[in-house]
Chain A
Amino acid sequence: MQEVIVATVDLQDVRGQRASFNSRSAQAADTPRYHRVIINISLSHEEGVHGVDVALKPTAPIFPRYHKPQEEIALGPACWLWDYLRRSRAVGFFLPLSGGLDSCSVAVIVFSMCQLVVKRAEEGDEQVILDARRIVGEPPQSNYRPTDPKEFCGSFSLFSYSLPNLIFPLFRGPYSFDVEILILIGGSFIRHSWERQIQAPTPGPEPKNFLKPSEVTTST
């Protein structure tokens, strides 16, 4: 699926603006000339050259669209994650959830990605649907389509480990599991730093501060 942007412009508007701008003309007279390559083709609308197409009008100016900063944060990294996931042909993310703000932010961005994937699949983007099938382990000819961001989020291999009471219900998929990090790694250095984190006198932000899925903006 391709995105194409089109506008109709009247080059006479350009010539008119320049011809009526005397200071510009004075500078133009002193400007070194570029070499001209002459090509005998016409760029303009054929009707415009050989006849008068009354229906063709210059495109009206628009107000440029800017996303809010929050939208940029939710959407930019989410699009990056999707491209990285599908083009690396990986089967999912390993997302260590410490319960702190950093891993929480990553989790929210992953969920934002899932919302974008579902939206794009609903719009019929075949490439997105095919990539989603591969990532959740379905064959290309399967009927699977991601329809629910939560379901999709839980259906690719998103492993998480977490401390008790800091579990993200969002990522409770068939592949998520809770595991004692001390058992998983077992190294004394890791164990030492992990214990220091657990016993830190000032704990990180409470889970109640986390964005709910409905608060993630997806307008494009």
Chain B
Amino acid sequence: MSKTIEHRERVTVRFAGDSGDGMQLTGTQFTHTAAVLGNDLATFPDFPAEIRAPAGTPAGVSGFQIHFAAAEVLTPGDAPDVLVAMNPAALKANLADLKLGGALIVNTNAFSVSKNLERAGYSANPLEDGSLDGYRVYPVDITALTLTAIAEVGLNQRAATRSKNFFALGLIYWMFNRSLEHSLAWIEEKFQAKMPEVAEANRLALKAGYNYGETAEIFTHHYVVSSAPIEPGLYRNITGNEALGLGLMAAAELSGLELFLGSYPITPASDLLHFLSKQKAYGVKTFQAEDEIAAVCASLGAAYAGGLGVTSTSGPGMALKAEAIGLAMMMELPMVICNIQRGGPSTGLPTKTEQSDLLQGMFGRNGESPLPVVAAKSPSDCFYAAIEAVRIALTHMTPVLLLSDGYLANGSEPWKVPEMSALPRIDCAFHLPREGEVFQPYARDEQLSRPWAVPGTPGLEHRLGGLEKQHETGNVSYDPENHEFMVKLRAEKVKRVTRSLPPTEVAGAPSGEAVFVSWGGTFGSVRAATRSLNQLGRHVGHVHLTHINPMPSDLEAKLSAFDRIIVPELNLGQLALLLRSELSADLVAKLTSAPKVQGKPFKERELVALVVGDELASALSLKPDPLSGEPGEGDAPPLIQIDDARQ
């Protein structure tokens, strides 16, 4: 039969299944194909903390969402247009997010076993009780079709069942008229040499899924999402942790230093350790320490020895590192502490995202111990944020806190690969002995930065420690006046970082009813919401802070052009608290904190509601299903097309 082809500007698909169902792999494959076909995209992997969470339960569901488009993409999408549910638990855990009228592809095989339904918490089979009437349900026995398709390979049942994610992938490839080429090449590269049977099974399953879409009567449409207008260049898809690793390596090259990472495994920062551990050929030294404290201390030792000392962790590890970070601040050695934030407090939500370590980073040390704080805003921006953190550390001789989060770390987006030759060098020179100079380790330049003299330099032998120092000489001093002077000096030194910061950018309206002030991984959602509001004719601006400490000196002036200052954060208002101490009383009076602490990123709708109110925002989000089987049904009145209005 002939099938109708429809064009769509943007689509969000979510793959959901048991932790062992291979959903992350399926999503990653779909992502890569979308990237190579020229879509802009953003992804949101969401998985349980347990390696093998109880099978078949909502707690064990692993999901991967991708938003791909023929236009710019800023978020992984509020609500999926298509949900692939490999079992009842995946349906249970994800259905609420699916757009009303959205396409729901379910693996019926898993619903035929009552135990699966029970584990998922269903008292009746949702495929039969009418509870899915609001969606377009495509029941497909993915398991049985996969087993039939790959029977000739002769794998045992258990191994054969594993290929079912490739069937699902093939089906979605058909749905969006995508070529199988890239995934076939990946299967070849990944499995052919070591496990040729698995390679063959996956190939057959992928093709069978695609062909099923082509021949089965239940699918009448497939959809085309054209390539996005993207700046020419070489691109790759990149996660936040990979970009962070590459950024640190780039910063080492730009400053002429050796990169040393001291780290201890912790979710979601471990991938940074994994990534840099693979880069030995490029001279990267990585040290998996016995604990978080040893990790930061080894980095501090490397920094004293003249290396680019970096340590990576997440919230609980940050707590353990606090004392040594204070020592680095006291020794005034350059170091970068990467905190890939996760849900807290305590062990919290290890695999979920949150921005709740900002105040810990700012203040979580004994004594007056300020340090600069930089935050990445998107997966690919982790590259540039890393370079910026290193620049500040080296040019100001200070430890710098670089904040990322689980959402950025695991999320991915296409990245235009930069030319190293086009990136500015980082000015960094070791102090050398000078004729007639009595070396003073705590002498100051105009930035209040002190000289970096490294072991092996004759004549500059000196001692650093955590005890208070005499100004300039660095000798131990308990003098009361000197102590107060040094405390103020160290604070002023961090403040002087503002001198090298670029002017604050205001996106959207330069003045008007409201301005969003955001930081970190919420950038995409807030920027998307700002654009939607602008499309609705609302004068709303957006200021996104890369530098949180010190804040840019023109912030007050830029924010004063708005009637309201809205600070959305994935915490209970930590940036808002800082802003209240930073801004004048006039501006503080206009400030609203907009917290969310659910382990999930903001939805665009939630942010739009902060300006237009819940009722209107809800109306705006009730967009008809964009993947309707009926031609024309996807065209909604312009007012409520939040996504599609954005160009």
Are the chains A and B members of one assembly?
A: no
Q: Which residues of A contact B (CB under 8 A)?
A: none
